[in-house]
Chain A
Amino acid sequence: MKRKITMAALILLFLLLQSTLCQKISVASIKPNLLIILIVSFGLMRGRKSGMMIGFFCGLLADIFFESIIGFNAIIYMWVGYLSGYFYRIFYDDDIKTPLFLISVSDLAYGIIQYCFRFLLRGRIQFFRYLGRVILPEVFYTLIVTIICYRILYLINQRLNLSDNRGVDYFV
């Protein structure tokens, strides 16, 4: 229960930060993608189910608050969370290299999917221009923020594991 409340609060916090504070720290009109960090981190630390659920709710809330089409971000983030859950227990989650790699791949995939469905379909065909100006800078910026954020998320997860009193091996 405590975990669920914490997770809900984290999702809401990250979403709010993404829409408000990120705007203030944006560099050359590019914001880091905090939601991907949260989703991939927990997918990696907690497994497929957690990643999937967090991704789904993050995406759904982002859609509800900001998009006219509901469900698009939800489905992408859900799959991102689910797939990153495959790395649970294969890699150690206290090493920052794995999340860094996973988050960059996820953010890259997210950018490409966004481009394909929302720009390519409208006839904007200069893929490399968007890749160079939006997708890759976002990946890079997100990576930098990950270095700070991941430690905090890791510690939160450790605390929750302790208070769960069930050990790390138990699924949510």
Chain B
Amino acid sequence: MKKKANEQLKNKYMLAVLSALCVLLIVVSFLDSSVVAPVKQVSGFLITPIQKGINGFGSWLSGLTDNFEDAQTLRLENEELQAKVDSLTEENSQLVQDREELRRLQTLYDLDKQYDEYEKVGARVIAKEPGNWFQLFTIDKGSDDGIEPDMNVISGGGLVGIVTETGPNWSTVRAIIDDNSNVSAMVSTTSDQCIIAGDLRLIDEGSLNLIQLTDVDNKVHVGDKVVTSYISEKFLPGILVGYINELNNDANNLTKSGYITPVVDFRHVQEVLVILEKKVYVPSDSKSVQPDTTDETDSGDGTENPAV
């Protein structure tokens, strides 16, 4: 009996110690995330190959069930056509954008050169955040392939998210539909600035919040294309985000807000492209840039293997 009471006391003691340890870890990692980085590197290095394997098995399994639903050939053909549609959509959007801005770009030819073609690396999504609350996923390429935090991730011609952490053979990507995500964007036709904010409440609609749109001339319409802004700190300019599907006036009558439909199908994103180029951000300078003197240029997004 005494032994049992002892055991229970020991358990309580242990619980207290571990709780204190957890709180300490929370505080430390909250204040300085670099402390825990080495642990993550090692664990990621060990676990990534297994995740890849399981994921391969999972894909095989879901592929198997697909076969029951429709014929293999049809599926392949569909995939092929979908890829083609995506690349054509991408090409088309690029062409439209080019035409819209050719006049202005001709005078800004140097700028055009700068964003002409980004170097990209393809990667596969191998794991997702375990809970239902956030939209983080792991891809199977890391610093060995030149990926660094804050690099942009695209898929199927649209913006997927941004790299938050990297290891030798893995990286974590935060999708733009994550509740914590905010992307500085603009309407491509009028170059009006806005912010695209992810929201968990919109998972059913599959849309994103569009907030703080300054549209004094009332020229922005539903259906307009939204691309990443050139004043963004982390996102390269001109990457397609989505299309406006609803627009309302804010209570202050100065800004507008609404919703956009992203071009990326986030539920089925399997392969992504990481742009191996980071936005060069000059602090405090970029804030004074006049919106009408400079403009975003050709996005040069990837057109291959969208696998929707």
Q: Is the CB of A66 within 8 A of B19?
A: no
Q: Does B54 contact A (CB under 8 A)?
A: yes
Q: Does B288 contact A (CB under 8 A)?
A: no
B54 closest partner in A (C-beta): A20
Name the A residues within 8 Å of B222 (CB-CB): none
Q: Is the CB of A78 within 8 A of B165?
A: no
Q: Is the CB of B29 within 8 A of A134?
A: no
Q: Does B172 contact A (CB under 8 A)?
A: yes
What does DSSP make chain B's interface, helix, strand, loop or mixed? Answer: helix
Q: Is the CB of A65 within 8 A of B43?
A: yes
Name the A residues within 8 Å of B15 (CB-CB): 52, 78-79, 82
Query: How far, in Å, is A8 (CB) from chain B's closest CB?
Result: 13
Q: Is the CB of B26 within 8 A of A72?
A: yes
A30-B25 Cα distance, complex, nearest whole Å: 29
Query: How far, in Å, is B297 (CB) from chain A's closest CB?
Result: 33
Are A119 and B14 also in contact (CB < 8 A) when A17-B54, A64-B40 are? no
Q: Is the CB of B39 within 8 A of A29?
A: no
Q: Is the CB of A75 within 8 A of B19?
A: yes
Q: Is the CB of A18 within 8 A of B132?
A: no
Name the A residues within 8 Å of B165 (CB-CB): 68
Name the A residues within 8 Å of B146 (CB-CB): none
Q: Does A133 contact B (CB under 8 A)?
A: yes
A149-B15 Cα distance, complex, nearest whole Å: 27
What does DSSP make chain A's interface, helix, strand, loop or mixed? Answer: helix
Q: Does B139 contact A (CB under 8 A)?
A: no
CB 8 Å contact bits of B30-72 with A (1 = contact, 0 = none)? 1001001001100110010011001100110110000000000
A162-B133 Cα distance, complex, nearest whole Å: 40
| A contact residues, range | 35 or more
A120-B177 Cα distance, complex, nearest whole Å: 18
Q: Does B126 contact A (CB under 8 A)?
A: yes
CB 8 Å contact bits of B188-217 with A (1 = contact, 0 = none)? 000000000000110110000000000000
Are A171 and B7 also in contact (CB < 8 A) when A69-B30, A134-B132 are? yes
Are A20 and B51 also in contact (CB < 8 A) when A15-B130, A48-B11, A74-B22 are? yes
Q: Does B267 contact A (CB under 8 A)?
A: yes
Q: Is the CB of A29 within 8 A of B33?
A: no
Q: Does B169 contact A (CB under 8 A)?
A: no
A56-B20 Cα distance, complex, nearest whole Å: 12
Query: How far, in Å, is B123 (CB) from chain A's closest CB?
Result: 15
A15-B126 Cα distance, complex, nearest whole Å: 13
Q: Is the CB of A71 within 8 A of B130?
A: no
Q: Is the CB of A16 within 8 A of B47?
A: yes
Q: Is the CB of A30 within 8 A of B132?
A: yes
Q: Does A23 contact B (CB under 8 A)?
A: yes
Which of A16-43 touch B at CB < 8 Å? 16-24, 28-31, 33, 35
Q: Does A61 contact B (CB under 8 A)?
A: yes
Name the B residues within 8 Å of A35 (CB-CB): 130
Name the A residues within 8 Å of B51 (CB-CB): 16, 19-20
Query: How far, in Å, is B167 (CB) from chain A's closest CB?
Result: 10
Are A70 and B26 also in contact (CB < 8 A) when A20-B54, A24-B61, A24-B62 are? yes
Which of B157-185 touch A at CB < 8 Å? 164-165, 172, 179
Q: Does A129 contact B (CB under 8 A)?
A: yes
CB 8 Å contact bits of A133-145 with B (1 = contact, 0 = none)? 1100010000000
Interface centre among B7, B30, B138, B200 (most CB of A within 10 A): B200
Binding site for A on B (CB under 8 A): 7-8, 11, 14-15, 18-19, 21-26, 28-30, 33, 36, 39-40, 43-44, 47, 50-51, 54-55, 58-59, 61-62, 126-133, 136, 138, 164-165, 172, 179, 200-201, 203-204, 267
Binding site for B on A (CB under 8 A): 15-24, 28-31, 33, 35, 48-49, 52, 56, 61-62, 64-66, 68-72, 74-75, 78-79, 82, 114-115, 118-119, 122, 124, 126, 129-130, 133-134, 138, 171
14 further A-B contacts with Cβ under 8 Å, apart from A33-B130, A69-B26, are A19-B127, A28-B204, A48-B8, A64-B39, A65-B47, A69-B29, A70-B28, A71-B23, A71-B25, A72-B26, A75-B26, A82-B11, A134-B132, A134-B200
Can you list 5 pairs linking A and B with CB atoms under 8 Å apart?
A: A48-B8, A64-B40, A65-B40, A65-B138, A71-B23
